[in-house]
Amino acid sequence: MLGIILRRLVNLVIILFVVGTLLFFIIRAIPGDPAVALLGSTAKPEELEALRRDLGLSGPLYLQYLGWFGRVLHGDFGMSIIYDKPVLEVIGDHIAPTLTIAIISTTLSFLIAVLITVWNASNPRNLIARALNQLSQIGLALPDFWLAVLLVYLIALNLRWLPTSGYTDIWVDPVASIRTLILPIAVLVIGQAASYVIVLREGMLGQMSQLYLRTARVKGLSEFGVAMKHALPNALLPILTIVGLNFAGLVGGIVILENIFVIPGLGSMMLGAINSRDFLLLQGGALFVAFLFVVVNLITDLTYALVDPKVRVS
Amino acid sequence: MNRISRRWRHLSVTSMAIVAAGALLLSGCTPSGPSDTPTDEGTPVQGGNLTIQISGDPGGLDQNASYSIEAVNISELIFEKLFALDAENTPHPMLVDSYDLSDDRTTYTFHLRDGVTFSDGKPLTSADVVESLNYWLRVNAQGRIVSGDVESIEATDDLTVVLQLNKPRYPLIVELTGVGTGILEADIAKGLDATGFTQEQAIGTGPYKLDSWEPNEQLTVVRNDKYSSLKDEESGYAGAKHAYLDSITFKIVADPDAVKNGLLTGQWLYASPTPDAYPELKANPDLVVNTLSGGNLNLLVLNHAYEGSIFHNADARDALSLLLDKPGIMAATGGSPDLTVESAALTPEASKIMYSTAGDEEYAKHDPDKAKELFAKAGYSDDKPIQILTTNAFPAFQAWATLVQDQLSSIGVKSEIQAYDFVTMLGQWQGYPDKWDIVPIFFNGDFPSPGQMNVLASAASPASETHGEIADDRSQDLIDALADYNDVDNADDAHKIMDTITAIVARDKPAIILGMTRPYAAYSPTLKGYDNYWYVFWNSWIAE
């Protein structure tokens, strides 16, 4: 296990180096001048040039890259133009809403999917179980933004049960925070749980017909117990990768939902950085998301090993 | 010398004769008034927080460095100027107690109000005014235009500033109400460049001060307890400022549905929704919906200064103007007839001196057949489609681009729309004259003087290095008219010259005016004491 972790950590460094380098040059290739974004259309050419110098954006590109890379190695990702703060501090300010939503929605989606699937597998003829199966197809087909608008209209605007938008830090005011989080999390859970149900159901049905479960049934275990205790661990493997990728995707890309629900998360931060050509924040943010992807993949692989002893052995 | 006091509203009849000369000199060149004025709204209530929705982060509070509508209007709560425009669109002394103008109209002596302090407790002195005005003249695009006429600005004592011009400049006082003329502390203003001051340096003499600011999320201002208010009647941007509200929070919300929903559920009491939401909100009995002061001038900038563009040819500019159904375009994108003005006027109607309909006859001409002939005469060829440069950041720009393309195609003229994000679009517009022929855009229609108007500067030479300044390649007629405007000494003559300027723009068509859009706001009826002047909330309160 330790070997796996060490190998992955070495890979992580290599991946981050390659991704960071690619990102630097791709981002610099985007048309649009940060100096123009900052000073507007009426700035004098000499003012623009002076600002480019101040921002470290003048001179040959390779020298800019080496300078940036050298500072990153020392943990200095530079200053954000729009926030006038160190890039890492800005990322820290915006990670909480995104992580809160990603963790809660992923956990809830996973649990709901497991419960539905296990119940479905142990009660294949039950009408409600079959209806839930069909609903998962619908849940998967609904676009997030459409669902978000619908829920806002029904629950926030008409029933006035919840606010239409906003975000409150859970440590500052937990009740207000939960009220603002319910709708965006509900939107994500509906879509994610539906996809997990579909994938997990296939695995569960396959496992439930396996001969190795006969002994469990003979021992007198209920069908629910058989499904939960014996079939589920074997059916979980394919879904772990999907959960991991979904989680990483949520961290990096719920821009539309953040916009609809006015959540100051990483997606909004990155969008603002693109619109303002805040190169250092964009590079830092993208590198951070890449880092999260790699870490989540590592955790997923480790979870594989925990769930399936064969992986550990191999 | 004539002398104008800040207490002009309370002057005796005898004094009014003296004021009249100054009033004539000063009136005009100003923003329009609001559509409705609240009547008796009860007794003001002290306290509370007002939450306002704004569409974008201000990007700064320095009007010389951040030109967004949010930056300009929020900073009015924090900074004061020597003069401000009242409800009659007349400059009204604010930080100035009185001023003298020499007989040759080149020497202004400003006597500052005694006892005014900045929000950090430092007293306002003439040194602050000198450094602030120098900063404006040095950095601000409009200030740089004025700077050519300014010989010197000097502090002669702690509360007296002498501004020496090298020739008379009729709109100077009203220009001192313009963007970027807010008074900063001398130590701060002295070393500033085009990037402006920092959050920590946002210290003014206004009724509110900056409390917190999380970029792209929200900005909060709180009452400045050290504020020294005039005793005059409150009026427009001028007069007494009571600061009834403890604090005002500006919540940055861009999504149009979120803006509307938050307003309907009381998450914010005041919002600036998109034009298409106007009819629905106007019909809602639980909201007050009114147009605001000012207006946006919608236009198509034509690349007439670049020889490679078809619009270098006057026939092509005439052709496009004749082709376009301008009222139709405005009606399709303006949201409601209440919000659109079909005219070639360069300023809102309430801007008494600068508003002119002298271009309306040209504006109304519509003859697609003649347009087709003129495009052929101008040498149009299918091999070189007309390039329309626009941005997806402003839906209206893209809508105008599409409608223009549609109308061009109706007479067989090919065009291509190049849509970018705003920063890229600006870069293409400024740096690559060969990449565009038409740029649909709007400018703030409120400018203190014609020489400072974006439409004249940008339309004259949008792609040159002098972008934003008086450009040299505009027609001689226009250059002469702008010089004449600065040289007059009364409002009637100034208005006549504005007729000439408006007619020249309509004739030469450096840009084609589509019309004007009135901004509007929707707010809760519990917001009282608000006169529909953008973010002028210093005399507003929330009813209990």
User: Cβ contact (<8 Å) for A262 and B420?
Assistant: no
Specify the pairing of strand B386-391 against strand B415-420.
parallel
| Rounded alpha-carbon distances, angstroms, from residue B493 to B107, B219, B273, B274 | 21, 44, 39, 39
CA distance B520 to B507: 31
Contact B269, B10 (CB under 8 A): no
- Tell me, yes or no, whether B254 and B310 share the same domain: no
- Tell me, yes or no, whether B310 and B198 share the same domain: no
User: Cβ contact (<8 Å) for B214 and A275?
Assistant: no
Predicted pLDDT at B50: 97
- Tell me, yes or no, whether B250 and B347 share the same domain: no
Residue A73 lies in a domain: no
- Tell me, yes or no, whether B231 and B346 share the same domain: no
| Rounded alpha-carbon distances, angstroms, from residue B11 to A262, B6, B239, B318 | 51, 10, 14, 52
Contact B171, B485 (CB under 8 A): yes
Contact B353, B489 (CB under 8 A): no
Beta-carbon neighbour count of residue B336 at 10 Å?
16
**DSSP bridge pairs for A296:** none
Q: Is B193 on the interface with A (CB under 8 A)?
A: yes
Predicted pLDDT at A4: 73
Predicted pLDDT at A8: 78
- Tell me, yes or no, whether B466 and B371 share the same domain: yes
In chain A, which residues have their Cβ closer than 8 Å to the Cβ of B258?
164-165, 259-262
Nearest by CB: A38 against B195, B255, B261? B195
Domain of B144, in residue numbers:
39-260+520-542
User: Cβ contact (<8 Å) for B423 and A152?
Assistant: no
Residue A185 lies in a domain: yes
Nearest by CB: A277 against B251, B264, B423? B423
CA distance B227 to B208: 8
Taking only the tens place, the pLDDT of each residue in B363-396 is 999 999 999 999 999 999 999 999 999 998 888 8
For B458-512, give the DSSP string.
HHH-TTSTTTTS--TTS-HHHHHHHHHHHH--SHHHHHHHHHHHHHHHHHH-SEE
Predicted pLDDT at B463: 39
Length reported for chain A? 314
Contact B248, B218 (CB under 8 A): no
Q: Is B392 on the interface with A (CB under 8 A)?
A: no
CA distance B518 to A106: 46
Contact B512, B297 (CB under 8 A): no
- Interface with A, mutate which of B265, B420, B452, B469 (most A CBs under 10 A): B265
**DSSP bridge pairs for B542:** B527
Residue B364 lies in a domain: yes
Angle at B346 between CA B343 and CA B347, to 5 degrees: 100
Predicted pLDDT at A314: 54
User: Cβ contact (<8 Å) for B194 and A275?
Assistant: no
In chain A, which residues have their Cβ closer than 8 Å to the Cβ of B194?
39, 43-44, 47, 50-51
Contact A20, A291 (CB under 8 A): no
Predicted pLDDT at B78: 98
Query: For B424, which residue in chain A has the nearest alpha carbon?
Result: A32
The three state secondary structure string of B24-83 is HHHCCCCCCCCCCCCCCCCCCCCCCEEEEEECCCCCCCCCCCCCCHHHHHHHHHHCCCCE
Residue A251 lies in a domain: yes
User: Cβ contact (<8 Å) for A33 and B423?
Assistant: yes
Residue A296 lies in a domain: yes
- Tell me, yes or no, whether B484 and B400 share the same domain: yes
Contact B98, B3 (CB under 8 A): yes
Residue B17 lies in a domain: no
Predicted pLDDT at B458: 53
b/e burial code for range A208-227 (CB count within 10 A of at least 16 → b): beeeebeebeeeebebeebb
Nearest by CB: A272 against B216, B424, B427? B216
| Backbone torsions φ then ψ of A180, nearest 5 degrees | -80, -25
Residue A43 lies in a domain: no
CA distance B392 to B402: 12
Residue A45 lies in a domain: no
- Tell me, yes or no, whether B484 and B528 share the same domain: no
Predicted pLDDT at B455: 64
Nearest by CB: B216 against A54, A260, A264? A264
CA distance A240 to B271: 45
Predicted pLDDT at B1: 41
Specify the pairing of strand B91-93 against strand B511-517.
unpaired
Residue B2 lies in a domain: no
Nearest by CB: A31 against B214, B216, B424? B424
User: Cβ contact (<8 Å) for B258 and A165?
Assistant: yes
Query: For A93, which residue in chain B has the nearest alpha carbon?
Result: B214
- Tell me, yes or no, whether B147 and B176 share the same domain: yes
Which ranges of chain A have pLDDT less than 70?
1, 41-42, 253, 309-314
Which ranges of chain B have pLDDT less than 70?
1-39, 454-474
Q: Which tokens is A211 given?
A: 């001969």
The identity of residue A48, as a single letter, is L
- Interface with B, mutate which of A41, A53, A91, A162 (most B CBs under 10 A): A41
**CATH number of the structural domain spanning residue B367:** 3.10.105.10
Into how many domains does chain A fold? 1
User: Cβ contact (<8 Å) for B194 and A276?
Assistant: no
User: Cβ contact (<8 Å) for A84 and B198?
Assistant: yes
Residue A14 lies in a domain: no
- Tell me, yes or no, whether B507 and B534 share the same domain: no
State the distance between the two ends of chain B, measured CA to CA, in whole angstroms: 50
User: Cβ contact (<8 Å) for B261 and A44?
Assistant: no
Into how many domains does chain B fold? 2
**CATH number of the structural domain spanning residue B135:** 3.40.190.10
Predicted pLDDT at B29: 34
- Tell me, yes or no, whether B417 and B449 share the same domain: yes
Specify the pairing of strand B270-271 against strand B520-523.
antiparallel
CA distance, residue B102 to nearest chain A CA (Å): 33
- Chains A, B: CB contacts within 8 A come to 109
**CATH number of the structural domain spanning residue A276:** 1.10.3720.10
Q: Is B67 on the interface with A (CB under 8 A)?
A: yes
CA distance, residue A144 to nearest chain B CA (Å): 15
- Tell me, yes or no, whether B502 and B535 share the same domain: no
- Tell me, yes or no, whether B58 and B90 share the same domain: yes
Specify the pairing of strand B438-444 against strand B296-302.
antiparallel
Domain of A241, in residue numbers:
87-313
Q: How far is CA B243 from the centre of its chain?
A: 24
